[in-house]
Amino acid sequence: MISRTLRALALPALAAAGVAFASTGASAAEPTNTGKRFRFHGELDVLSFSHFNPDGNGDNTNTLGFGIGRTTGVDSLILPPIWSLGFGYVFLGGNAIVGGRFAFNLSTTGDEDDDGMGTATPSRTTAVGGELVPYFRYLFLPGKRARPFIEGRFGFGGSAGSTRVETDPETVSSFSEIHPIVGIGGGAHIFLIDAFSIDLALTFDYAAPHTKSRTEIGDITMEEDYSKAGDFINLAAQAGFSVWF
């Protein structure tokens, strides 16, 4: 009798606990960027097609690339190429981001050129490159684990370098390059937790490199002022990450 009474009391209690557990699970919030104020991120091209159309003489260059760890198309224009990282401010209740992507690299190398007759000519090359691309990104589906977005961006990149060869007389060659960048893209943030997301996107970027060069051989100087080198476009499928805080 007591056993039967306990079962009669236990069954409703278990049923109520099950309903409460199911209700709690159903109402649990999905991971998202709600309440976050800043975004730190990086992205790479996984599959890309780039096209360079030179001004004046020269052939068009088309490049198809696939792989993990490749720089983005515009990052590849920097000399030496380097990955860029980004930082943004989140506003409008987590639905919009304004920020920028940054890259900077400095390298110097020394070498000795052999003229084929056993004479080595020391040389040294120094190169610096950088990029700043501000962007605006708008996110849809607030509060959801997967948040689609669209983005527009406009910025600049460039490189400069010089090579000094200890010939007689000494030869010094220098160059500089700048390129305005404009791009659009769309994709989705997939939140694993509130503070971290995997980002997938399709992007299109256009850049117009302008170059300048100067060569000094003793008292002789040859110089070319800035002129447009050509048109560069890059269409890519990207993968990246974002840290939200």
The tens digit of pLDDT for each residue in 77-116 reads 998 888 999 999 999 999 999 999 999 999 888 876 555 5
Cα–Cα distance, 208 to 185 (Å, whole number): 19
Domain count along the chain: 1
% of residues, the chain, pLDDT over 70: 84
Domain containing 86 equals 31-244
CATH (domain of 48): 2.40.160
Alpha-carbon distance values, 123 to 160, 218, 233 (Å): 17, 16, 34
Confirm whether 11 is domain-assigned.
no
Query: Is the pTM for the entire model greater than 0.85?
Result: no
With a CB cutoff of 8 Å and minimum separation 6, the contacts of 233 are 50, 51, 204, 205, 206, 207
Question: Residue 122 pLDDT > 60, yes or no?
Answer: yes
% of residues, the chain, pLDDT over 90: 67
Confirm whether 23 is domain-assigned.
no
Return the ∠ at Cα 201 (arms to 198 and 207), rounded to 5°.
130
Confirm whether 183 is domain-assigned.
yes
Length of the chain: 245
Most confident of the ranges 35-44, 104-113, 211-220: 35-44
Confirm whether 145 is domain-assigned.
yes
Return the ∠ at Cα 106 (arms to 113 and 231), rounded to 5°.
90
Confirm whether 167 is domain-assigned.
yes
Residue 30 DSSP one-character state: P
Residue 32 DSSP one-character state: -
Confirm whether 185 is domain-assigned.
yes
